[in-house]
């Protein structure tokens, strides 16, 4: 009897261990107890955020809440005073921005920040600079966009997990994908980015991020200052990207539209997470509607 109990307990331990590993794999990003100070300014206090594989997670909050600071810390641009950030189970808290981008965390920054003096195409090419020369997983290639060699492998019965592709092939595929998503960028490939409209520049900023084959795409207020029709387009593009397998972490003040495409949401207020729930629940939260959504 004692032995049976011991075996059962062992089995349970093994199962829960396996479960923990499974859950860790399922969690793309895990931010725990993050604190960021700018001198005397306490911008983030004990912030904990989880992003599951394949989901869209949004961070809502008013001006100065600390949204950009949180994204900058995840991308490695500002240091943290406390807390840990794990990406697919790996501690990335102290890594350099370039290393973090190489791992697949790619950010489209606040205020678009395209290279105004370069053409649209050159801006996109710059987005691909962190791509490595060696083989990258096939999941980054779209079946429809793939070149004939890749296509034949993808369509064969015995589909391999990865396909070796050269850097050039990846860049070409990514660029085709961006042009397909934003045809206006293709039309304006040779135009100087500084002369694009606000909406076009936002598309370029997202397109540039996509050039780096993101596994986790981070967006800082992609809808800011754009006309409602363009905002709608941008959000449906994000939804489409997510359907194609990209996990998305998005910061927005446009709470209503963001919650409509998001799976889960966090509300940040003066550096603290004051609320977090399924997007659907937040959409029905009267307090949140009063504070951030309006009628
Ligand atoms: N480099 C900096 N030095 C000092 N204080 C900073 C710095 N960057 C941000 N802050 C302060 O930290 C707080 C959070 O700023 P942050 O940019 O993260 O807010 P936000 O939520 O992105 O706001 P917004 O919606 O206006 O973009 C603000 O009080 C801001 O003034
Ligand atoms: Mg901001």
Q: Which domain holds residue 223?
A: 27-293
Q: Are 53 and 264 in contact (CB under 8 A)?
A: no
**Residue 116: phi, psi to the nearest 5?**
-60, -35
- Residue 130, both tokens: 């962190």
Mean pLDDT for 2-9 is: 63
Within-domain flag for 7: no
In this structure, of 40-44, 53-57, 138-142, the range with the lowest mean pLDDT score is: 138-142
Within-domain flag for 141: yes
Residue 209, pLDDT > 60, answer yes
Which residue among 35, 36, 40, 43 has the greatest number of ligand 1 atoms within 8 angstroms of its CB, and so is best to mutate? 43
Which residue among 34, 37, 40, 41 has the greatest number of ligand 1 atoms within 8 angstroms of its CB, and so is best to mutate? 41
- From the alpha carbon of 67, which atom of ligand 1 is closest? 21
Within-domain flag for 4: no
Q: Residues 6 or more apart from 273 whose CB is under 8 A from it? A: 47, 48, 49, 266, 267
- pLDDT tens for 268-288 read 999 999 999 999 999 999 888
- Residue 200, both tokens: 């076009």
Within-domain flag for 14: no
pLDDT at 163: 59
On average, the pLDDT of the chain sits at 85
- Residue 178, both tokens: 């961006």
- Residue 282, both tokens: 């937040």
- pLDDT tens for 145-159 read 566 776 676 666 666
pLDDT at 295: 45
Report how many domains make up the chain: 1
Ligand nearest to the CA of 43: 1
Query: Of all residues in the chain, what percent carry a pLDDT higher than 70?
Result: 80
At residue 130 the predicted structure's pLDDT band, cuts being 50, 70 and 90, is confident
CATH of the domain at 242: 3.40.50.300
Residues in contact with ligand 1 (CB, 6 Å cut-off): 38, 41, 43, 61, 63-69, 110
Kindly report the protein residue whose alpha carbon is nearest to atom 12 of ligand 1. 43
Ligand nearest to the CA of 62: 1
- From the alpha carbon of 71, which atom of ligand 1 is closest? 18
At how many degrees (to 10) do helices 167-181 and 120-127 cross? 130
Within-domain flag for 231: yes
Residue 136, pLDDT > 80, answer no
Residue 294, pLDDT > 70, answer no
Within-domain flag for 278: yes
Is 32 strand, coil or helix? strand
pLDDT at 14: 59
Within-domain flag for 17: no
Within-domain flag for 19: no
């Amino acid at each position: 009897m004692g032995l049976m109990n011991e075996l059962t307990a062992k089995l349970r331990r093994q199962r829960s261990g396996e479960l923990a590993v499974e859950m860790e794999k399922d969690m793309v990003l895990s931010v725990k107890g993050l604190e960021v100070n700018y001198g005397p300014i306490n911008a983030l206090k004990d912030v904990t955020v989880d992003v599951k594989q394949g989901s869209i997670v949004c961070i809502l909050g008013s001006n100065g809440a600390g949204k950009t600071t949180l994204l900058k810390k995840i991308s490695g641009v500002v240091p943290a005073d406390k807390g840990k950030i794990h990406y697919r189970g790996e501690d990335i808290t102290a890594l350099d921005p370039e290393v973090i981008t190489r791992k697949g965390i790619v950010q489209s920054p606040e205020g678009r920040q395209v290279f105004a003096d370069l053409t649209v195409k050159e801006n996109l090419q710059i987005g691909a600079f962190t791509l490595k020369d060696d083989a990258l997983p096939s999941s980054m290639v779209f079946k429809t966009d793939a070149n004939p060699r890749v296509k034949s492998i993808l369509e064969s019965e015995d589909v391999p997990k990865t396909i070796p592709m050269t850097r050039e092939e990846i860049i070409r595929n990514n660029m085709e994908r961006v042009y397909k998503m934003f045809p206006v960028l293709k039309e304006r490939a040779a135009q100087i980015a500084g002369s694009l409209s606000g909406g076009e520049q936002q598309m370029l900023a997202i397109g540039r991020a996509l050039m780096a084959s993101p596994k986790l795409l981070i967006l800082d207020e992609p809808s800011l200052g754009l006309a409602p029709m363009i905002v709608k387009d941008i959000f449906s593009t994000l939804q489409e990207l997510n359907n194609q397998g990209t996990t998305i972490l998005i910061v927005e003040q446009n709470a209503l539209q963001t919650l409509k495409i998001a799976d889960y949401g966090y509300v940040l207020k003066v550096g603290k997470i004051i609320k977090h729930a399924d997007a659907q629940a937040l959409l029905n939260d009267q307090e949140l509607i009063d504070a951030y959504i309006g009628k």
